[in-house]
Amino acid sequence: MTHLPWRMGALPGVTAHLARVNADLVAGFSCVWWLPDHLTRQSEVDDLLAEVLVGQDCVVVPGVEDDAWRAAPSVSPRPVLVTSADDGETPEWARNELDLSELFADIDPTPVTSFPRAFAPDVVSLPERIAEAVGDMSDLGDDPVATLTSWPALRGKLVVVRAWREPDRDTLRGVLVRLPAAGKEHGLASAERPRLLVVARVDDLPDVRGRIDPMTTREHWWWGVLGRLDTAVVVASVRPRAVGSGAAELRELVAREVIAEVAGPDLGLAEHLAMTWNGRMAGLPDAVRGFPCKQITVRADPGRGRDRPPNETRSAWNEGAADLWERQIRVSPAAVPDPPVQTLAWRGQHRALMPVIDEERAALERIFRARASMAVLAEVVQQRGREVPESTLVRATLELGPMCWAAETSRVRLSTSDRQRLFRLRDARNALAHLRPLDDDELDHLASVVG
């Protein structure tokens, strides 16, 4: 079976997050959309922005760096050739004695640099670029923000600014704070006010938080966006389906749940484990360590940061190593020196196996009841010596432990396969109940009787 590559914007949690941002824009609010640094360095950020802007009458303001690249020299200066001080001729050691013109005919000798260039000194301000983007080059006067607010060309439009492309943070801050407020002060209806969508990293606007008017502007944080379903979608997209016996299917079920629990919101780690880990528990720690990730030190308080990353977690969040996942702050196990892999593996196994164990227990209960007398059933469900009514015996759930006791003491005779299945289920359930993940032998034994 061919698996389709996963796309960030199509993940369920991401889709819901983008819809919330879009809904606030449709309702007439300006928005600040706070993204972690690592996301703005990825190509997906443009796709996510496009999803948010669906159905919006918007104008995306070109970043200053775009203008700077057009204004700056396209290549680095050529190095000056060393020449003879006497006659201006090329010195003998530098002369070309071989004719290699045909060999290098198709190669562009122009040197290329990967270093970032400085912004061009004549780049226009943010208000001027907003005016240029809507095609109105009228004079903005002494108060550009007030002028923009009253411009017919901006009535009802959404102005999109990517803050990391704006070097003049003071001007950006002024536009963000004043433009939504000015539209309200001018008495414009919400549908006629120009709105802003500022997509920013935390360090792009460090002192604007707390100055944003919630009556005109909403904040959205890329925090808690991803959940278990998103991680599971990534795993399913890149990991081949199990083929073979039911035992192989059970092992694969466990492997997928363990990957999702171990990786959490770290989708890169989830993809890595899905493609490289063979599902053997003994190899899981090494598989996690094999994922390249910058090591961090972070202390996360699970009770804080429900709507945004707490300050002590923000650096790790910016690097994609921490996030809110399933209502808990999770740090990627690949980013810390001593990750709780066993605890996370237990959670994944518990989630995968407990429904299977309970279903198998129910099947064995039906077999057990068909072979047990009422007296034995009374012993199995006895409540600390109290007499148990017969009606209770019919309704009571028969747990694995008491059924094993009855089989061990020959009160009930089961077939060899049913007896083995009963004991395997009990052992697995007891291990998980004591917060211990099953090792590979235990998983193989369980899979052999369940599959």
Contact 126, 172 (CB under 8 A): yes
- The β-bridge partners of 161 are 198
Q: Which residue type is seen at 7?
A: R
> Strand (E) positions, 158-265?
158-162, 195-200, 217-221
Question: Would you state the structure tokens that stand for residue 197, as one six-digit string?
Answer: 């969508």
Which is more confident, 143 or 314?
314
Scanning 113-216, the segments in alpha helix (DSSP H) are 126-133, 144-150, 169-185
Name the band, by pLDDT with cuts 50, 70 and 90, for residue 321: very high
Q: Which residue type is seen at 367?
A: I
Name the band, by pLDDT with cuts 50, 70 and 90, for residue 6: confident
Q: Which CATH superfamily is domain 8-70+119-221 in?
A: P-loop containing nucleotide triphosphate hydrolases (3.40.50.300)
**Predicted local distance difference test score (pLDDT) of residue 76:** 32
Scanning 277-415, the segments in alpha helix (DSSP H) are 284-289, 311-318, 341-371, 374-380, 390-395, 400-408
Cα–Cα distance for residue pair 191/406, rounded to 1 Å:
74
Express as a percent the part of the chain with pLDDT over 90: 55
Question: Would you state the structure tokens that stand for residue 300, as one six-digit string?
Answer: 């996360």
> For residue 361, is pLDDT > 60?
yes
**Predicted local distance difference test score (pLDDT) of residue 302:** 57
**Predicted local distance difference test score (pLDDT) of residue 119:** 39
**Predicted local distance difference test score (pLDDT) of residue 78:** 28
Average pLDDT over all residues of the chain: 83
> For residue 191, is pLDDT > 90?
no
Listed residue (230, 447, 240, 239) closest to 352, CA to CA: 447
Which is more confident, 380 or 350?
350
Contact 261, 297 (CB under 8 A): no
**Reported pTM:** 0.81
Look up residue 306 and give its DSSP letter. S
Distance set, CA 352 to CA 27, 40, 314, 346, 381 (Å): 42, 35, 32, 10, 27
Convert the pLDDT of each residue in 58-101 to its tens digit.
Answer: 999 988 765 443 333 333 332 333 333 444 443 443 344 445 44
**Predicted local distance difference test score (pLDDT) of residue 451:** 65
**Predicted local distance difference test score (pLDDT) of residue 304:** 61
Domain extents for the chain?
Answer: 8-70+119-221, 228-293+304-339, 343-450
Which is more confident, 108 or 60?
60
Convert the pLDDT of each residue in 141-171 to its tens digit.
Answer: 778 888 888 788 888 899 999 999 998 888 8
Segment 283-292 mean pLDDT: 96
**Predicted local distance difference test score (pLDDT) of residue 299:** 67
Which is more confident, 17 or 186?
17
**Predicted local distance difference test score (pLDDT) of residue 305:** 64
Q: Which residues of 151-174 are buried (b: 16+ CB within 10 A; e: fewer)?
A: beebbebbbbbbbbbbeebeebbb
Cα–Cα distance for residue pair 300/316, rounded to 1 Å:
10
